[in-house]
């Protein structure tokens, strides 16, 4: 159970006509760094890092790899602290932590493969039998977006079984209100609807937007202001009755402690592939649990990221416990991404608007399609 080799793969899919934009940029490709950790007895564990694949790969190859060879895969807490400390003075956030996330997720996958147990059991046990997937979509495909296209996309998610949707906003306050109104009218009152402006606003414009969409029964507003603007989060949170979420651009339990202490956010969204893997996720969850602040993981990436997010979502506690605890929402990006759909040969099943707890499987419960990696590998 000692680490004998580490391989990094950068895979990339060109989107062509399926390019789309959110409030900050266009997406023309899906490019991801996948990590494989191999042990001395021939097992492989898989991880993934969010963000710039080439920088993440460089961190693994030049900073972490030599520290990892020979380590015991069960020493996840020790390894996390060692790698973090090795770049601490200049890498408390960003690619150093995203790369660490990939390492940590692969180690948890291996721990599960050695013990023949699913990762959610190793993380402390499954707390629920079902979670509610929500469709992340309704991106814009033109800077002069036709609301009819968003409406028909939203309706298609409902038809395919989703009971919750998150739409991209942040394209101007008046534009956001118009699009939210059109989508809410089309999907009816029963469907959970969230909005995500990806920090396109300052506090005063975010409050205007929030007030404008309050009549449309919005479950949460995600990242209304930039991640550094904690005071802005507090102002928006105080000004609207819609819950405020955020945290996908925050790193490690150290970073989340500041958000939690500031009571800046109603719903924390740590991402296992960003914030330092499942080890960091469990530490963040402990802080959130003590502060009694809801968490729903942010998920964006390949089938490996989806699997890590699933195990995190099934294992985390309720905030707080109750006879009828709150739902756990799970993010499922619906934009074009062959790595999300195909890298794991075990497809994700949505049944009656829910994802069921995986009953079998070791580690992350994924079977990697190595041919797909070969086909799309670059660099
Ligand atoms: Ca988001």
CA of residue 127 to ligand 1 center, whole Å: 25
**CA-based Rg of the chain, rounded to a whole angstrom?**
20
Q: What is the mean pLDDT of residues 144-150?
A: 96
Cα–Cα separations (whole angstroms), residue 191 to 88, 162, 242, 262, 271: 44, 8, 16, 31, 24
Cα–Cα separations (whole angstroms), residue 189 to 36, 80, 115, 193, 228: 45, 45, 46, 9, 34
pLDDT of residue 359: 86
CA of residue 326 to ligand 1 center, whole Å: 21
Mean pLDDT, the chain, whole residue set? 97
What are the DSSP E strand ranges found in the chain?
3-14, 20-21, 26-27, 29-39, 44-49, 130-137, 164-168, 192-196, 220-222, 243-246, 267-268, 294-295, 329-333, 355-356, 377-378
Phi/psi region, residue 262 (left: phi>0; alpha: psi -120 to 50; beta: rest), is: alpha
| Total-model pTM | 0.98
CA of residue 153 to ligand 1 center, whole Å: 18
Tens digit of pLDDT for each residue in 312-349? 999 999 999 999 999 999 999 999 999 999 999 998 99
CA of residue 370 to ligand 1 center, whole Å: 29
User: Cα-flanking dihedrals φ and ψ of residue 191, to 5°?
Assistant: -80, 135
Inter-axis angle of helices 230-239 and 203-213, nearest 10: 30
CA of residue 248 to ligand 1 center, whole Å: 7
CA of residue 295 to ligand 1 center, whole Å: 14
CB distance 276 to 101 below 8 Å: yes
> Which residue in the list 116, 140, 199, 298 is annotated as catalytic?
298
Tens digit of pLDDT for each residue in 112-146? 999 999 999 999 999 999 999 999 999 999 999 99
CB distance 260 to 232 below 8 Å: no
Round to whole Å and give the CA distance between 87 and 65.
13
Q: Do domains 3-120+369-378 and 121-356 have the same CATH topology?
A: no
What are the DSSP E strand ranges found in 181-260?
192-196, 220-222, 243-246
Round to whole Å and give the CA distance between 313 and 87.
29
CATH superfamily to which 3-120+369-378 belongs = Enolase-like, N-terminal domain (3.30.390.10)
% of residues, the chain, pLDDT over 90: 97
| Residue 18 predicted with pLDDT over 90 | no
Q: Determine whether 62 is an active site residue.
A: no
Per-domain residue ranges of the chain: 3-120+369-378, 121-356
Round to whole Å and give the CA distance between 145 and 92.
38
Q: How many CB atoms lie within 10 A of CB 303?
A: 27
CA of residue 117 to ligand 1 center, whole Å: 31
CB distance 265 to 250 below 8 Å: no
CA of residue 247 to ligand 1 center, whole Å: 9
Architecture of the CATH domain 121-356: Alpha-Beta Barrel (3.20)
Token pair belonging to 263: 């009571």
Q: Which residues line ion ligand 1, judged by CB < 5 Å? A: 196, 222
CB distance 73 to 111 below 8 Å: yes
pLDDT of residue 204: 98
């Amino acid at each position: 159970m000692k680490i004998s080799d580490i391989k990094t793969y950068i895979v990339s899919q060109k989107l062509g006509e399926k390019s789309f934009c959110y409030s900050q940029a266009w997406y023309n490709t899906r490019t991801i760094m996948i990590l494989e950790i191999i042990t001395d007895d021939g097992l492989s564990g898989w991880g993934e890092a969010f963000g710039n694949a080439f920088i993440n790969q460089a961190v693994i190859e030049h900073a972490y790899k030599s520290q990892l060879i020979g380590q015991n895969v069960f020493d996840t807490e020790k390894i996390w602290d060692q790698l973090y400390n090795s770049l601490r003075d200049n890498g408390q956030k960003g690619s150093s932590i995203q790369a660490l996330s990939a390492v940590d997720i692969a180690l948890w996958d291996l721990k599960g493969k050695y013990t023949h147990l699913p990762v959610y059991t190793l993380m402390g046990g499954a707390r629920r039998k079902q979670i509610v997937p929500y469709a992340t979509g309704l991106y814009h495909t033109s800077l002069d977006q036709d609301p009819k296209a968003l409406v028909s996309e939203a309706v298609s998610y409902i038809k395919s079984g989703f009971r919750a949707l998150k739409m991209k906003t942040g394209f101007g306050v008046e534009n956001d209100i118009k699009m939210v109104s059109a989508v809410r009218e089309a999907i009816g009152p029963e469907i959970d609807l969230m909005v995500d402006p990806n920090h396109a606003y300052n506090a005063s414009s975010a409050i205007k937007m929030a007030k404008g969409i309050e009549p449309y029964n919005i479950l949460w507003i995600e990242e209304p202001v930039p991640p550094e603007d904690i005071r802005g989060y507090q102002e928006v949170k105080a000004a609207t009755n819609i819950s405020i979420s955020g945290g996908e651009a925050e790193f490690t339990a150290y970073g989340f402690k500041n958000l939690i202490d500031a009571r800046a956010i109603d719903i924390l969204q740590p991402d296992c592939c960003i914030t330092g893997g499942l080890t960091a996720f469990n530490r963040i969850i402990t802080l959130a649990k003590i502060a009694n602040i809801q968490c729903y993981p942010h998920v964006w990436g390949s089938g490996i990221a989806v699997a890590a997010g699933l195990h995190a979502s099934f294992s985390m506690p309720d905030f707080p416990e109750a006879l009828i605890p709150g739902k756990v929402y799970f993010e499922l990006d619906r934009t074009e991404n062959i790595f999300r759909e195909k890298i794991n040969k075990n497809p994700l099943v949505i049944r009656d608007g829910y994802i069921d707890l995986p009953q079998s499987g070791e580690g992350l419960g994924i079977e990697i399609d190595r041919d797909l990696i070969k086909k799309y590998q670059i660099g």
